[in-house]
């Protein structure tokens, strides 16, 4: 089990590719760049796979249902490419999430995590945004999980999921020390909601949180036509961490990797000896689930 490691969070820039080979080359450049920098955990953002819609020549930009149907023909190749890159560069690789068709015919938002040995499993988004529910028809997949890795236990909260403390708390109580938050937001307000949530989850769980973002414009798909934000890596603002908890933060809207060195011992130490004990004291908030109403109407 490794105590310290470098994490790379992507501000992943969308591109229109002429063919699959172009996409593969682009992704390889990204992964190789992070691996050459010494990163062991690479985090791509939510719906990065939607860039592949540019390969679907016969699907109209406004036809979202046809786009995600068309993507299903590419999903096996998508997984195998990420698996091969994880093995080749000996990294843990969180692939950009994919609109995944289940056996029922329902679509969910699924992010696959690959190991340096080629193993993989996935996390499905738990709570859908209004766009996903009302416009796109994306639904909930399988329940939340945590993943044992050589860098400790990892949880994944896809974008909007990070805004729900009880959902993430369940992952923390299951042993997560590191939370990955792949995100895709089309406005400054949307980005800030996820950014604030990521930092709040780091505070509550006294853990590391890594947010990746999609950036750039993709007029070929209404789902990702505009994308803004800055990747970041956060911890609790307490013992052994910066006063604001920000370990790294990218320059907004510019394609790039954002790096931070993480040490699992800092999480253990702040949970054991911090100025506050948010992680341990969470159980004391159970009474807040029953709130008395006091009438002060005069």
pLDDT at 297 over 90: no
Whole-number pLDDT of residue 233: 98
- How would you classify the pairing of strands 208-217 and 226-227? antiparallel
Would you identify the CATH topology of the domain 4-289?
Nitrilase/N-carbamoyl-D-aminoacid amidohydrolase (3.60.110)
Q: Report helix, strand and coil shares of the chain as percent, to nearest 5.
A: 40, 25, 35
23 Ramachandran zone, left/alpha/beta (phi>0; psi -120 to 50): alpha
Strands (E), 143-245: 146-149, 152-156, 178-183, 208-217, 226-227, 232-234
- Average pLDDT of the residues in 242-254: 98
What DSSP element (H or E) covers 167?
A: helix 165-173
pLDDT in tens, 74-112: 999 999 999 999 999 999 999 999 999 999 999 999 999
- Average pLDDT of the residues in 181-196: 97
pLDDT in tens, 141-169: 999 999 999 999 999 999 999 999 999 99
What percentage of the chain reaches a pLDDT higher than 90? Answer: 85
User: pTM value?
Assistant: 0.96
- Measured CA angle at 67 (ends 181, 115), to 5 deg: 40
List C-alpha distances in Å: 55 to 24, 218, 220. 12, 12, 10
- How would you classify the pairing of strands 4-13 and 41-43? parallel
pLDDT at 237 over 80: yes
Angle between helix 165-173 and 188-205 (nearest 10): 40
Picking from 146, 145, 77, 80, the residue whose alpha carbon sits closest to that of residue 114 is 80
Mean pLDDT of the chain: 95
pLDDT in tens, 273-294: 999 999 999 998 876 667 788 9
What contacts 242, CB < 8 A, 6 or more positions away?
235
pLDDT in tens, 36-72: 999 999 999 999 999 999 898 777 667 888 899 999 9
- Average pLDDT of the residues in 3-12: 97
- Average pLDDT of the residues in 183-187: 97
Q: How many CA atoms lie within 13 A of 215 on its CB side?
A: 19
List C-alpha distances in Å: 23 to 101, 201, 205. 22, 33, 37
What contacts 46, CB < 8 A, 6 or more positions away?
96, 97, 109, 111, 125, 158, 159, 182, 183, 184, 212, 214
Domain residues of the chain, as ranges? 4-289
Helix and strand tally (H, E) in the chain? 8, 15
Q: Is 283 within 8 Å of 40 (Cβ atoms)?
A: no
């Amino acid at each position: 089990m490794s105590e310290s490691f470098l994490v790379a969070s992507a501000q992943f820039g969308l591109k229109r590719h002429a063919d699959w080979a172009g996409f593969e080359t682009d992704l390889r450049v990204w992964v190789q760049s992070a691996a050459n920098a010494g990163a062991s955990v690479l985090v791509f953002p939510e719906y990065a796979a939607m860039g592949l819609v540019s390969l679907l020549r016969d699907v109209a930009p406004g036809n979202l249902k046809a786009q995600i149907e068309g993507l299903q023909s590419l999903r096996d190749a998508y997984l195998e490419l990420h698996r091969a890159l994880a093995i080749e560069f000996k990294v843990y690789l969180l692939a950009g999430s994919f609109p995944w068709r289940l056996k029922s015919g329902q679509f969910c938002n699924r992010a696959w995590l690959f190991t340096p040995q080629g193993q993989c499993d996935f996390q499905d988004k738990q709570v859908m945004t209004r766009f996903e529910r009302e416009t796109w028809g994306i639904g909930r997949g399988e329940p939340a999980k945590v993943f044992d890795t050589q860098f400790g236990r990892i949880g994944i909260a896809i974008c909007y999921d990070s805004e729900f403390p009880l959902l993430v708390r369940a992952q923390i109580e299951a042993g997560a020390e590191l939370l990955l938050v792949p995100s895709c937001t089309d406005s400054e307000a949307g980005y800030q909601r996820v950014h604030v949530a990521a930092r709040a989850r780091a505070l509550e769980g006294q853990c590391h949180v890594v947010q990746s973002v999609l950036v750039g414009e993709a007029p070929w798909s209404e789902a990702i036509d505009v994308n803004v934000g800055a990747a970041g890596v956060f911890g609790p603002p307490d013992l052994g961490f910066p006063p604001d908890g920000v370990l790294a933060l990218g320059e907004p809207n510019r394609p790039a990797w954002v790096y931070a060195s993480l040490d699992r011992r800092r999480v253990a130490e702040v949970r054991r000896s911090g100025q506050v004990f948010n992680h341990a004291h969470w159980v004391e908030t159970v009474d807040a689930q029953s709130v008395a109403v006091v009438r002060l109407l005069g």
